[in-house]
Amino acid sequence: MTDRWRVSANLATLANALLGVGAILYILAGNKLWAMLLIASAIGFDGLDGIFSRRSASPGTAFGRIADSVADAITFGAAPAFLIAVHTSDSSAWEPYATLALILAAAYLAAAVGRLVYFTARAYQRTDFLGVPTPQSALAVIVAVLFHDTPAFQTVQPVGLLIGVAALALLMVLPIPYPKIKRGSPLRWPMAVTAVAAGVSLLLLQFQLAEGSGAYGVALAASYVLLIGVASYYVLGPFTVKRPAVGS
């Protein structure tokens, strides 16, 4: 008998990967806002994949873990790397930093793939993540782009964005524990609010809002909520991971 939860998990993984490919195509077409919306949407499918897998009666397989990691590498590794490297708007501001942007985009992608390979091989057995998970890193890149590239809420700042990207890549591979957002996690509801804020901000921004309009104000406020939510995971996350008791 077909395990419908396992099939649903596989479909969620496929949707994740397709959204990542779509995001890359949008970036190359010069529309980063749609790309960021697709990446944020893919985070939801990545979460559904985990929920469906846990409900499945059949045990997880190596193929399922590999497929999930490949999808994550596309959507949360390659697509954010393209966000960092490709600058069709404000090209004059980015031109002096084009080579550095390519180098840091490659470093970000390498860090994402490296942590996913480790997770697939060994770390999937852990109750927490070792290093910042790729979906949270991708969300952090989106925040950086929103404030320092497109739509540049705080003006176009290539240097600040690239320094941030270097830090994000490093935090993916440092052996710092970060929580999985499951039922009972103290960050579950803050991260749910963060996801809603991401959706509100990125949906509204698709309509090329006039600065100073009411809708623009809502998008800006939602972006700040998104910023605070992402920062809270980075700063507070390690403190919410349960350490094993001494001597256990």
Asked, for residue 245, whether it belongs to a domain, the answer is no
> Is the confidence at residue 100, as pLDDT, over 90?
yes
- What is the reported pTM? 0.93
Residue 247 predicted with pLDDT over 60? no
In a domain, 59, yes or no: yes
Q: Is residue 132 predicted with pLDDT exceeding 60?
A: yes
Q: Give me the mean pLDDT over the 123-131 stretch.
A: 84
In a domain, 247, yes or no: no
Do the domain assignments include residue 193?
yes
The region of weakest confidence among 63-72, 109-118, 186-195 is 63-72
* 109 within some domain: yes
- The whole domain housing 164 covers 4-240
Give the residue with greater pLDDT, 56 vs 229: 229
Contact 200, 218 (CB under 8 A): yes
From 142, 167, 103, select the one nearest 229 (Cα to Cα): 142
pLDDT at 211 over 60: yes
Number of domains in the chain: 1
Mean of pLDDT over the chain: 91
Contacts of 109 (CB under 8 A, 6+ apart): 77, 78, 81
Residue 246 counted as domain residue: no
